């Protein structure tokens, strides 16, 4: 059994919904958990300390160990305070589940600058503000696990959610770089694209009573997302730089692939007309590779052109 004995985990946005379930399961498996939640509304309004406190109480009543953090991830000070809570209370930090977020639906042409910035400040900025001090602590210890909660809305698109999609896709980029830089320090970073019933789903897909009648809500029980997150946060996970979807008990890798494409002859200057003439090759998805970094893509092209960049 995967366990977290003598490990410490932070879960942001852990007061409700999926975040609460992540915290409960990590604690059940032995982790000391920092339950972070400002306690605001789904739209990011207000604050309520009792939200995080209730989850801590739930963990402790079940025999687990936890401490509440009421700081917001949307500032450097907040992120630092959350990490300090883990270090000062438990003396270490092994895993971070970056889950905190807000949600609202706005047509793209009506999206205000305030809506845009507010969404990014919690999801994307918050992911950075929490992960940077956590990364520094993990680097000193020579071990760490990051699980960033992204979204299929960001990877594949979701109507009325330009701000949310951009923020969630941005977390994939953040995780990619942490994975590359953290590799030599025993730090992994992966993302999960979850789909489970929550306040967010209610707003997105309509009347929950009608959905319940179809059996849809039973299929997307939030508990079905938890295994993927917990595995990626554990020592059992020995890989990094990956994305996984978790939906209705189906767990699958999500990746950005690169087609072989059309390569203009060395020494020529291709034109837009050439692109049009070779569009079928340019747009083909088979065969494909999944570059581990921007360098792998560039070096592969150089290799096809017969250029040795290391000579």
Asked if residue 144 lies in contact with residue 138, where contact means CB atoms within 8 angstroms, the answer is yes
Q: What is the mean pLDDT of the chain?
A: 94
Q: How many residues does the chain have?
A: 311
Interacting residues of 164 by C-beta distance below 8 A, sequence separation 6+: 103, 104, 119, 123, 151, 153, 154, 158
> Is residue 53 in a domain?
yes
> Is residue 310 in a domain?
no
Q: What is the pLDDT of residue 73?
A: 98
Q: For tokens 């909660």, what's the residue?
A: 149
Q: Are 74 and 173 part of one and the same domain? A: yes
Q: Are 179 and 100 part of one and the same domain? A: yes
Q: Are 27 and 81 part of one and the same domain? A: yes
Q: What is the pLDDT of residue 170?
A: 98
Q: Are 241 and 298 part of one and the same domain? A: no
pLDDT score of 163 more than 60: yes
- Provide the 10 A C-beta neighbour count for residue 74: 22
> Is residue 273 in a domain?
yes
DSSP string, 106-145: --GGG--HHHHHHHHHHHHHHHHHHHHHHHHHHHHHT-EE
Q: Determine which helix (DSSP H) or strand (DSSP E) holds 97, and give its type and residue range.
A: strand 95-98
Q: Mind listing the pLDDT tens digit for each residue in 87-108?
A: 999 999 999 999 999 999 999 9
Residue 294's domain spans which residues?
258-304
Q: Are 19 and 107 part of one and the same domain? A: yes
Chain-centroid distance of CA 273 in Å reads: 40
Q: Determine which helix (DSSP H) or strand (DSSP E) holds 294, and give its type and residue range.
A: helix 294-304
Q: Are 149 and 297 part of one and the same domain? A: no
Q: Mind listing the pLDDT tens digit for each residue in 17-44?
A: 999 999 999 999 999 999 999 999 888 8
Cα 197 from Cα 208, distance rounded (Å):
9
pLDDT score of 161 more than 80: yes
Q: What is the pLDDT of residue 43?
A: 83
Chain-centroid distance of CA 73 in Å reads: 14
Q: Are 63 and 140 part of one and the same domain? A: yes
Q: What is the CATH number of the domain that holds 113?
A: 3.40.50.720
Say what percent of the chain tops pLDDT 90: 86
Q: Are 271 and 156 part of one and the same domain? A: no
Q: Are 19 and 68 part of one and the same domain? A: yes
More confident call, 97 vs 248: 97
Cα 21 from Cα 236, distance rounded (Å):
20
Give the model's confidence band at 245: pLDDT under 50 very low, under 70 low, under 90 confident, else very high. Answer: very high
Cα 50 from Cα 35, distance rounded (Å):
11
Asked if residue 115 lies in contact with residue 163, where contact means CB atoms within 8 angstroms, the answer is yes
Structural domain total, the chain: 2
Q: Are 136 and 249 part of one and the same domain? A: yes
Q: For tokens 């070779």, what's the residue?
A: 278
Give the model's confidence band at 203: pLDDT under 50 very low, under 70 low, under 90 confident, else very high. Answer: low
Residue of 22, 164, 231, 244 marked active site: 164
Catalytic status, residue 143? no
Residue range 106-135: mean pLDDT, rounded: 98
Q: What is the pLDDT of residue 42?
A: 81
Q: What is the pLDDT of residue 100?
A: 97
């Amino acid at each position: 059994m995967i366990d977290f004995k003598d490990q410490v985990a932070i879960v942001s946005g852990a007061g409700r919904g999926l975040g609460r379930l992540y915290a409960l399961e990590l604690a059940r498996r032995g982790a000391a958990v920092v339950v972070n939640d400002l306690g605001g509304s789904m739209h990011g309004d207000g604050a309520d300390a009792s939200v995080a406190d209730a989850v801590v109480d739930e963990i402790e009543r079940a025999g687990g160990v936890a401490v509440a953090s009421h700081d917001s991830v949307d500032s450097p000070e907040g992120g630092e305070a959350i990490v300090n809570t883990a270090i000062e209370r438990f003396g270490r930090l092994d895993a971070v589940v970056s889950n905190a977020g807000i949600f609202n639906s706005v047509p793209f042409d009506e999206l205000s600058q305030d809506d845009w910035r507010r969404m990014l400040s919690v999801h994307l900025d918050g992911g950075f503000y929490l992960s940077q001090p956590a990364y520094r602590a993990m680097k000193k210890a020579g071990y760490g696990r990051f699980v960033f909660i992204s979204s299929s809305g960001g990877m594949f698109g979701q109507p009325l959610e330009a701000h949310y999609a951009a923020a969630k896709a941005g977390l994939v980029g953040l995780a990619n770089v942490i994975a590359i830089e953290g590799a030599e320090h025993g730090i992994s970073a992966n993302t999960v694209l979850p789909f489970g019933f929550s306040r967010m789903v209610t707003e997105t897909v309509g009347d929950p009573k009608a959905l319940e009648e179809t059996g849809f809500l039973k299929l997307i029980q939030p508990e079905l997302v938890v295994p993927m997150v917990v595995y990626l946060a554990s020592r059992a996970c020995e890989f990094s730089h990956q994305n996984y979807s978790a939906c209705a008990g189906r767990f699958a890798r999500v990746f950005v692939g690169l087609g072989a494409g059309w390569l203009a002859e060395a020494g020529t200057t291709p034109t837009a007309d050439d692109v049009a003439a070779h569009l079928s090759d340019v747009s083909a998805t088979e065969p494909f590779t999944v570059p581990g970094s921007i360098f792998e893509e560039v070096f592969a092209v150089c290799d096809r052109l017969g250029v040795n960049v290391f000579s």
